[in-house]
Amino acid sequence: MKLPRGPLRDAALACALLAAVLAAFWPILGHGFVFDDFALIVDNPGIRGLDAERLRWMFSSTYLTTYMPLGWAAFAAVHAVAGLSPAAFHAANLAAHWLVALALFAAARRVLHLAGDAKPDAPAFAAALLFAVHPFQVNTVAWAIELPDMLSTLFYLLAVFAYLGRSRPRAAAAAFACFAISLLFRWKSLSLPLVLVGLDYWPLGRLRARPGDPFDKDKVWIWAEKAPFVVLAIAAASLTVLAKSREVYAPSFDPAAAARVLWLYPAALLKPWGYLSAYALHGDANSLGMPGWLALALAAAAAAGLWHFRRRRPYLLLVGACYAAAALPPALSAQNGAVFVYAAYGYLACLGVFVLAGAAAAKRPVFAILLSAAFIAGSRLELRHWSGPVAFWTRSVELDPGFSPARGQLGAALLAAGRYEESFTQLAARLEAAPADLNAAADMAALGRVAPALKEEAARATARAAFLRIRAP
C-alpha cells in the first residue's frame, strides 16, 4: 500500500526516521558524561539557570575558547528541566539529531526536485536515513556537548531549505535569519555563503559562467545578495578567533594537515567502525598514518577531477567545494603547536556526501534497507565505548597507542574509578612522552597519596617528569 502524498506521507517518513534514530542510539540514555562534558556542562555555573545575569554571560562569554550564546542557552534549558542528569542531555541530543535528519530530508528533496528529479522523496529519505544511523554519527550524538553543533546544523539546513524557496526577497531573508541563529549556536556553519553561491550555480541555474565573464557580471544582484551573509560569517569568524586567542590556540596553516583533514571524514564513512574522538593531523606521527605529500597529492587530484567533470556532473563540484569549506575551518587552529580535529566536526561537512549516497542507494531499495540495518548494528557497537570516561579513553588508547594525551586522560579516569595500578601505567606513559603535562603530574601525585603500594613509584615518576621539565629548553 502506497502512502498518499502530502502531510500524511511526510509524517510517516518522519516517524520512520525517528524509529531509526532510536534503534541506533537509544542506549545513550543510560550513559554518563565523558571528556569535555565535565568542563562545559557539569562544572559550568553559567548554564545553571536562564536568569538575566546568566543570559548576559552567555552572550558575552568566550568560556573555553568558544562563543556560542544559544549553545549555552540550550544547555541551560536542559538543565532547567532535569538538572545535571546525563540522560536528559542525551535525550536532547537524540531529539536534535532526529530534527537534523528531518531537515536534511526536506532540504535534499527540494534540491533534487529543482534538479529535475520527478520523484525526489525516495533519494531524499535514503540520504536522511543513512545520515541518521551511520556509526560515524556516534561521535556527535553520544557526546552531550555536541548539542549546540547539532542545533547549528539544523538551522544551517533550514537556511538552505529557505533559500531554495520561490519568493526571492523572503527566501533570502529567511535564510539569513536561520544563518544568524545557526552561528549563535556554533560557528561551524561559516561555509553557508559558499553553499548558497553553489546552489545558485546548480540546481538553480542562476549563475552560468561564460567565456570572458567567469562570474556572470550580468547577475551582479546575486552576488550582492550574499553580502549580508559574508559580513555575518566574518563577524562570527572574528568572534571565534578572539575567543581562541585568549587561550593556547593560534591560527595554523599547515597544508599537509589541512589535506589530511579532507581525507579523514571520507575514510571514516567508508570504514564505519573504530573511530577516535580526536585525530592528531600534524607531522609524521599523525593519527591517519598518511604522509603529507600523499595527502596533498590526493587532494590536488580530487580537486582536478571535480573541476574536470564540472559541466557533466556539476553536483559533484558543489558537494566537494561545500565539504572542503565546512571541514577545513575547524582544522585551521593549533593547540600547543599540533593540529587536532574531532570526528564530530564531520557532522555538518558530510551532509552533501550523504545526499549523493542517498541518490545512489534509492535505486536499490533492498540494498539501502540492508545497509541501514548494518549501520544501526554498527552504531550500537560503537556506543559501547561512550558509556563513561574509562570506556571512552580505553578505546582511544587502543586505537591510537601513540597519542599520549589519551593515556593521561585514561590514567585520570582510572584513578577516579579506584583502579590504581592501571592508572599508574597510563600516567607514567603520559609523563614519559610529555613531562610538561602538569595535569598528569598532579594526577600521579594524587595516586601516590591514595595508593600506598604505589607511593614510591609514583614519587619517582613525578620527580623524573619535574627533572625533564627543568632540562627542557
Q: pLDDT of 284-317, one tens digit each?
A: 878 888 998 999 999 999 999 999 998 899 999 9
Per-residue confidence at 243, pLDDT binned at 50, 70, 90? confident
Q: What pLDDT, on a 0 to 100 scale, did the predictor assign at position 469?
A: 82
> Which superfamily does CATH assign the domain made up of 390-471 to?
Tetratricopeptide repeat domain (1.25.40.10)
What's the predicted TM-score (pTM) here? 0.93
Q: What pLDDT, on a 0 to 100 scale, did the predictor assign at position 331?
A: 67
Q: What pLDDT, on a 0 to 100 scale, did the predictor assign at position 3?
A: 46
pLDDT averaged over the chain?
Answer: 91
347 pLDDT above the threshold of 60: yes
Would you call the peptide bond into 452 cis, given omega within 30 degrees of 0 as the criterion?
no
Amino acid letter, residue 40: L
Q: How far is CA 105 from CA 101, 112, 124, 174, 321, in A?
A: 6, 10, 5, 19, 21
Q: What pLDDT, on a 0 to 100 scale, did the predictor assign at position 403?
A: 80
Tracing cell 563513561 back to the chain, one arrives at: 388
Per-residue confidence at 473, pLDDT binned at 50, 70, 90? low
Cell matching residue 183: 552561528
Q: What pLDDT, on a 0 to 100 scale, did the predictor assign at position 241?
A: 80
Per-residue confidence at 64, pLDDT binned at 50, 70, 90? confident
User: How confident is the model over 251-276, as a mean pLDDT?
Assistant: 86
Q: What pLDDT, on a 0 to 100 scale, did the predictor assign at position 332?
A: 65
Q: What pLDDT, on a 0 to 100 scale, did the predictor assign at position 97?
A: 98
Highest-pLDDT range among 40-44, 212-216, 217-221: 40-44
- 169-173: long-range contacts at Cβ-Cβ below 8 A with a sequence spacing of 24 or more? 172/225
Question: Whole-angstrom Cα distance, residue 51 to residue 324?
Answer: 39
User: How confident is the model over 326-331, as a mean pLDDT?
Assistant: 82
The least confident of 103-117, 179-193, 338-352 is: 338-352
Amino acid letter, residue 436: A
Inter-axis angle of helices 147-163 and 168-185, nearest 10: 170
5 pLDDT above the threshold of 70: no
What's the pLDDT tens digit per position in 206-217? 887 665 555 566
What's the pLDDT tens digit per position in 163-203? 998 777 889 999 999 999 999 999 989 999 999 999 998 99
User: How confident is the model over 101-111, as a mean pLDDT?
Assistant: 97
Q: What pLDDT, on a 0 to 100 scale, did the predictor assign at position 215?
A: 59
Runs of H (alpha helix) within 45-119 = 52-60, 69-82, 86-114
247 pLDDT above the threshold of 90: no
Question: Whole-angstrom Cα distance, residue 103 to residue 152?
Answer: 12
Output the CA angle 407-410-413, nearest 5 degrees. Answer: 155
- For every residue of 282-293, DSSP letters joined together read SSTT-TT---HH
User: How confident is the model over 109-138, as a mean pLDDT?
Assistant: 96
> What share of the chain has pLDDT > 90, as a percent?
74
The least confident of 86-100, 129-143, 180-194, 391-405 is: 391-405
Domain limits, the chain? 16-387, 390-471
Per-residue confidence at 45, pLDDT binned at 50, 70, 90? very high
Cell matching residue 47: 548554564
Q: What share of the chain is helix, strand, coil (3-state, %, to 5)?
A: 75, 5, 25
The least confident of 86-95, 115-124, 334-343 is: 334-343
281 pLDDT above the threshold of 90: no
Tracing cell 542528569 back to the chain, one arrives at: 85
13 pLDDT above the threshold of 80: yes
335 pLDDT above the threshold of 60: no
Per-residue confidence at 277, pLDDT binned at 50, 70, 90? confident
Residues in CB range of 172: below 8 A, 6 or more apart? 163, 225
Evaluate whether 162 touches 171 at the Cβ level (below 8 Å).
yes
Partnered with residue 279 across adjacent β-strands are 341
